[in-house]
């Protein structure tokens, strides 16, 4: 008789599927390894829903910021192991939100670090803060497989070139891939392009700074094309065979087994 799969509740930021896709890719990999993963955006409604499912999970994973805070609450209520996936520095949140909000969030994150069985973090600037509170912490690369981006195959390059040609994009090209959020200084990038008449900016992504609500017209040679390149064109943020995905497998299994269940 086969063992029952480890049931994982993973709470993530409540964002569109084409933003922060790395967590979904890791979850997909975990499922190929026999885990039962529920990936859920964090909202008051999904928090209540998760509360009602307290006997349905063996491990809780929470991603910055609401996911980690809500995951901590559920971990305490469920008496289950908690992994905190800390992917953004608090500095970003503090720069875009008032102090009356950013300070409590900082404190709640500190509580999450202290209660977590393991904290994964990305930025060097967060290392001291995380390790001050966490009993166990590991720095990661956010699930990015650098070699796949640095050394794409000829097939990938040719396919990308054909798609650019189909859209009439030629000459010098700058490609921005990621979320269109104020914290990433998108406005400065667009302003810089107004001085580069012989370059074309290709934007792949969506978010709060989407061109449909831009405060001013985009530079003439700017293409905002979320659908021009499907996810198969460029290497996925976290592929099924990266060491990052395998490490998640080992990590979750170890935390679950350590509970003696």
Residue 229 located in a structural domain: no
What confidence score (pLDDT) does residue 192 get?
81
Residue 35 located in a structural domain: yes
Residue 1 located in a structural domain: no
- Report the domain count for the chain: 2
Residue 232 located in a structural domain: no
Let me know whether 191 and 244 are in one domain.
no
Residue 231 located in a structural domain: no
Residue 230 located in a structural domain: no
- Which residues neighbour 152 within 8 Å (Cβ) at sequence distance 6 or greater? 234, 235
- Which residues neighbour 130 within 8 Å (Cβ) at sequence distance 6 or greater? 86, 113, 119, 121, 137
Give all strands of the β-sheet with 82-86 in edge-to-edge order: 36-41, 7-12, 59-63, 82-86, 118-121, 137-139
pLDDT in tens, 36-65: 999 999 999 999 999 999 889 999 999 999
What confidence score (pLDDT) does residue 230 get?
34
Let me know whether 86 and 166 are in one domain.
no
Let me know whether 244 and 210 are in one domain.
no
Let me know whether 55 and 172 are in one domain.
no
The percent of residues above 90 in pLDDT, for the chain, comes to 41
Let me know whether 38 and 131 are in one domain.
yes
Band the pLDDT of 22: cuts 50, 70, 90.
Answer: confident
The model carries a pTM of 0.74
pLDDT in tens, 138-185: 998 876 667 777 788 899 889 888 888 887 777 888 888 777 777 777
Band the pLDDT of 186: cuts 50, 70, 90.
Answer: confident
Q: Are strands 137-139 and 118-121 parallel, antiparallel or unpaired?
A: parallel
Let me know whether 39 and 131 are in one domain.
yes
Residue 2 located in a structural domain: no
Let me know whether 177 and 114 are in one domain.
no
What number is the average pLDDT over the span 7-30? 81
Let me know whether 121 and 246 are in one domain.
yes
Look up the domain containing 127 and give its range: 7-144+237-258
Let me know whether 53 and 104 are in one domain.
yes
What confidence score (pLDDT) does residue 231 get?
33
pLDDT in tens, 205-259: 666 555 443 434 445 555 444 333 333 232 333 222 334 455 656 665 666 666 5
Residue 188 located in a structural domain: yes
What confidence score (pLDDT) does residue 236 get?
31
pLDDT at 85 over 50: yes
Let me know whether 133 and 16 are in one domain.
yes
Let me know whether 189 and 113 are in one domain.
no
């Amino acid at each position: 008789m086969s063992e029952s799969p480890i049931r994982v509740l993973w709470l993530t930021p409540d964002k569109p599927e084409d933003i922060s896709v790395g967590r979904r890719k890791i979850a997909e990999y975990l499922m190929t390894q026999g885990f039962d993963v529920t990936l859920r955006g964090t909202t008051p409604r999904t928090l209540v829903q998760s509360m009602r499912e307290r006997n349905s999970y063996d491990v809780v994973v929470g991603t910055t910021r609401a996911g980690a805070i809500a995951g901590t609450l559920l971990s305490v209520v469920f008496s289950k192991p908690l992994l905190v996936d800390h992917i953004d520095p608090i500095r970003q949140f503090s720069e875009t939100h008032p102090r009356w909000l950013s300070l409590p969030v900082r404190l709640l994150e500190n509580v999450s670090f202290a209660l977590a069985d393991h904290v994964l973090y990305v930025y060097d600037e967060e290392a001291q803060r995380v390790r001050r509170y966490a009993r166990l912490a590991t720095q990661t690369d956010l699930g990015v497989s650098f070699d796949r981006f640095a050394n794409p195959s000829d097939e990938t390059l040719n396919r990308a070139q054909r798609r650019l040609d189909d859209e009439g994009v030629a000459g010098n090209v700058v490609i921005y891939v990621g979320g269109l959020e104020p914290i990433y200084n998108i406005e400065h990038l667009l302003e810089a392009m107004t001085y580069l008449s012989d370059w074309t900016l290709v934007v792949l992504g969506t978010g709060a700074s989407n061109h449909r609500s831009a405060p001013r017209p985009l530079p003439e040679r700017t293409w905002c094309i979320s659908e021009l390149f499907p996810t198969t064109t460029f290497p996925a943020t976290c592929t099924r065979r990266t060491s990052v995905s395998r490490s998640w497998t080992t990590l979750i299994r170890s935390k679950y087994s350590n509970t003696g269940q």
